[in-house]
Copies of this chain bind each other. A is one copy, B any other.
Amino acid sequence: MTEPQASAVDLFPDAPDLARRVAFILEIDKLKQVLRRTLLLDASRVENDAEHSWHMATMALVLHPYAEPGTDLLTVLKMLLVHDIVEIDAGDTYVYDAAASQTQAEREERAAERLFGLLPEPHAHDLREVWRAFERRDTREARFARAIDRLQPLLHSYHTEGRVWRQNAVAAADVRRAMAIIGDSSPRLATLAEDMISDAERRGLLR
């Protein structure tokens, strides 16, 4: 059992396409170790990017009726499944950390090149474009995916007594600013966000 492990590429010398797809699948396992600030709902630990991505994709399934009419669910799911993969190289950037946010775009662009580049073409290009659309927020699908990406941590912070907000002395005004994009996709989900922010403010969970 000391014999070296065959790699995906060794196993399929005749199938470079499949070998590259398997190499990507193995590499993205690392997303399970990229930690976020958001707590699980029982506040027992912070969540990681892989769990977060699953939760958001499933949220999109369930909240799709509240998206702009004509929002293509398959495209939204692809976005939510792959959008955090860049954080394997670039790390998680807290939405209320202004300094880290400045270098975020460049770090994430490099990461997208490397990580999606593990896949064969045209799949590498496709997923890179899905990720870029998410970042640009210029399609209905991207607006909905980004709305979900904001709503999920808000739900968690609100339902864990604002512990992460209080630790970071987050202001209600900053949360409102971050959450404003939800309304571009869904007025109803924007109202849900505002109801939680107002209640948290009233109860002193936000500055």
Contacts and interface: CB of A to CB of B under 8 A. Distances in A.
Interface string A47-80: 1101101110111011100100000011001100
Given A11-B199, A77-B77, A199-B6, A59 B25 contact: yes
Copies of this protein chain in the complex: 2
Contact of A41 (B1, B26, B61): B26
Interface stretch (A27-35, A92-100, A101-109, A132-140): A27-35
Nearest to A28: B58
Contacts of A119: 62
Contacts of A195: 11-12
B55 A28 contact: yes
Given A62-B123, A155-B26, A51 B32 contact: yes
A190 interface: no
Given A11-B196, A18-B66, A203-B1, A50 B41 contact: no
A21 interface: yes
A207 interface: no
Nearest to A199: B6
Contact of A54 (B51, B159, B199, B204): B51
A169 interface: no
19 contacts: A1-B162, A5-B161, A21-B63, A22-B155, A22-B192, A25-B63, A26-B41, A26-B159, A28-B58, A29-B55, A32-B51, A32-B55, A51-B54, A57-B77, A61-B81, A61-B82, A62-B119, A62-B123, A77-B77
